[in-house]
């Protein structure tokens, strides 16, 4: 069983003293939508791809696809609302069984305690007419959840897709965070916050019970640059913690706000590498449109607010090629021992899309180039051995010729047509 901790510099995760690259899949709707037979197939397939974390909503996901499984986390009132004071033990026993199956296969569960639609005043709380969880129900629910799941050493994701619009909303999350740490001091904690939100309230930035930062660059086609902008912002927060993009654009997800178009394998790969090389080097989360909501053909799908296009069925979405690209990113981090990468502002090209990072002693560097060009770097890399990884087909080549001009390294165009990663190792 994996038990995560933080590195001494609080920039990445470790397990048994060794760097741990957090590679998660987004499967928010697992406990309400997935049969045990499907779960086994899913777990074995994702494990083969190198995934080691699963992000799951402990409660019913508000925008899950329709399911034949009629199992709810709470008793249901005659009007269809939840009785938040009546926990359904059968639901949580089944969830516990599914977590045990995942842990047995080497996964770390990252369990969301309070998705924002359950909390008053939040953006989703205002869109949904459903009854909200009373504040006095938070403590018994969190204590019960911790009593069941803490033996698996999960990550507790205190919030789900939330903003912090009021003191009342913040009180829900402060309560849950303090209770989790009171009961399960050794379990790591974080907040999954609303897309493109970087203004984390000071009460959480300064809270010693919060272990790392999650952000989501999200699914809005106008703001994909936030994958690296937000990484830099969280990396430079006054309290140092590991940073990761926990929700970049999902593969084949329709653009949010009902804009026509879908994110391709290239788009999600680009978001991953731009995040990883801009301060969010602790790991990355993948998402496939059809997996997170666990969609089956013929079942309903509709999302209030965001309005994403229809998902693929889960069996098709599971095989999207981009998941292998994310596994390849993890492999490169592990093979080259890139834990602790820090942003390196050396790119002289007239774009912010090319991202660079280096290990703390500059023994190694990584540069992501999404579109081929002559690369200009404000650093002397003549004493580095440079390898080029073409990411679409995962081909490898020696670096093209480079020269030093006025203390600026100039690297000729590489031989590939797609996006590449340069890895430079000091000789």
What does the DSSP assignment read for 192-220?
A: -B-TT-----HHHHT-TT---EEE---S-
Instruction: Give CA–CA dist 143/147, Å, rounded.
Output: 6
CA distances from 75 to 57, 98, 138, 140, 379 (A): 18, 21, 15, 15, 62
CA distances from 256 to 69, 300, 303, 305, 307 (A): 28, 18, 10, 9, 6
Beta strand 53-57 with 108-115 is parallel
- Which residues have CB under 8 Å from 303's CB, separation 6+? 63
194 neighbors 126 (Cβ within 8 angstroms):
no
CA distances from 388 to 12, 21, 48, 405, 413 (A): 25, 21, 25, 21, 11
Two structure tokens written together for 190: 């974080």
Beta strand 364-369 with 420-426 is antiparallel
Instruction: Give CA–CA dist 213/193, Å, rounded.
Output: 9
- Which residues have CB under 8 Å from 335's CB, separation 6+? none
Q: Which of 224, 264, 229 is nearest to 243 (CA)?
A: 229
Model pLDDT, residue 261: 96
What DSSP string describes 223-258?
GTTHHHHHHHHHHTSSS---EEES--PPBTPBPSTT
Instruction: Give CA–CA dist 242/35, Å, rounded.
Output: 34
HSE on the CB side for 50, CA within 13 Å? 21
Model pLDDT, residue 224: 98
Model pLDDT, residue 365: 98
Does residue 264 sit in helix, strand or coil?
coil
Model pLDDT, residue 226: 98
Model pLDDT, residue 128: 81
**H runs (alpha helix) in 277-346:** 314-317, 322-335
- Taking the domain 4-335, which CATH number applies? 3.20.20.80
Handedness of CA 270, 276, 279, 284 (dihedral sign): positive
290 neighbors 250 (Cβ within 8 angstroms):
no
CA end-to-end distance (rounded Å), the chain: 38
Q: Rounded to 5 degrees, what are φ and ψ at 71?
A: -135, 125
Does residue 272 sit in helix, strand or coil?
helix
Beta strand 213-215 with 243-245 is parallel
**H runs (alpha helix) in 73-162:** 89-104, 123-127, 135-149
227 neighbors 281 (Cβ within 8 angstroms):
no
Radius of gyration of the chain (CA): 22
Q: What is the pLDDT along the chain (427 residues), one digit of tens a residue?
A: 999 999 999 999 999 999 999 999 999 999 999 999 999 999 999 999 999 999 999 999 999 999 999 999 999 999 999 999 999 999 999 999 999 999 999 999 999 999 999 999 999 999 888 899 999 999 999 999 999 999 999 999 999 999 999 999 999 999 999 999 999 999 999 999 999 999 999 999 999 999 999 999 999 999 999 999 999 999 999 999 999 999 999 999 999 988 999 999 999 999 999 999 999 999 999 999 999 999 999 999 975 555 689 999 999 999 999 999 999 999 999 999 999 999 999 999 999 999 999 999 999 999 999 999 999 999 999 999 999 999 999 999 999 999 999 889 999 999 999 999 999 999 9
Element (H, E) at 48: helix 36-48
Spell out the domain ranges in the chain: 4-335, 344-426
Element (H, E) at 362: none
Instruction: Give CA–CA dist 394/202, Å, rounded.
Output: 42
11 neighbors 22 (Cβ within 8 angstroms):
no
Could you say which DSSP state residue 126 is in?
H
């Amino acid at each position: 069983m994996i038990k995560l901790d933080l590195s001494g510099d609080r920039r990445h995760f470790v397990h048994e003293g060794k760097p741990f690259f957090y590679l998660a899949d987004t499967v928010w709707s697992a406990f309400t939508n997935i049969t045990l037979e499907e779960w086994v197939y899913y777990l074995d397939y994702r494990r083969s791809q190198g995934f080691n974390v699963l992000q799951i909503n402990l409660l019913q996901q508000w925008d899950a696809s329709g399911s034949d499984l009629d199992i709810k986390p709470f008793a249901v009132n005659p009007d269809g609302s939840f009785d938040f004071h009546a926990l359904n033990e059968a639901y949580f026993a089944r969830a516990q069984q599914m977590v045990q199956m995942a842990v047995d296969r080497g996964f770390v569960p990252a369990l969301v305690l309070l998705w924002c639609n359950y909390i008053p005043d939040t953006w989703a709380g205002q869109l949904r007419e459903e009854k909200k969880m009373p504040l006095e129900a938070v403590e018994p629910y969190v204590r019960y959840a911790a009593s069941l799941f803490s033996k698996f050493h999960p990550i507790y994701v205190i919030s789900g897709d939330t903003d912090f619009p009021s003191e009342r909303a913040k009180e829900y999350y402060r309560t849950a965070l303090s209770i989790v740490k009171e009961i399960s001091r050794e379990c790591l904690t974080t907040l999954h916050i609303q897309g493109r939100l970087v203004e984390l309230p000071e009460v959480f930035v300064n809270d010693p019970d919060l272990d790392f930062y999650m952000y989501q660059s999200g699914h809005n086609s106008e703001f994909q640059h936030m994958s690296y902008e937000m990484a830099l912002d969280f990396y430079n927060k006054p309290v140092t913690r590991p940073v990761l993009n926990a929700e970049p654009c999902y593969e084949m997800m329709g653009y949010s706000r009902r804009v026509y178009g879908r994110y391709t394998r290239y788009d999600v790969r680009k978001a991953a590498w731009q995040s990883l090389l801009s301060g969010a080097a602790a790991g990355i989360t993948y998402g496939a449109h059809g997996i997170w909501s666990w969609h089956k053909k013929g079942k309903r799908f509709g999302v209030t607010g965001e309005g994403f296009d229809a998902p693929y069925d889960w069996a098709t979405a599971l095989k999207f090629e981009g998941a292998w690209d994310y596994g390849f990113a993890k492999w490169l981090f592990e093979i080259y021992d890139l834990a602790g990468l820090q942003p390196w502002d050396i790119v002289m090209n007239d774009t912010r899309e090319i991202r660079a990072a280096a290990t703390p002693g500059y023994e190694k560097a990584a540069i992501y180039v999404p579109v081929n060009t002559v690369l200009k770097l404000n650093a002397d890399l003549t004493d580095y051995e440079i390898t080029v990884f073409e990411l679409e087909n995962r081909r490898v080549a020696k670096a093209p010729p480079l020269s030093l001009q006025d203390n600026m390294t100039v690297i000729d165009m590489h031989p590939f047509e797609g996006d590449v990663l340069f890895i430079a190792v000091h000789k």
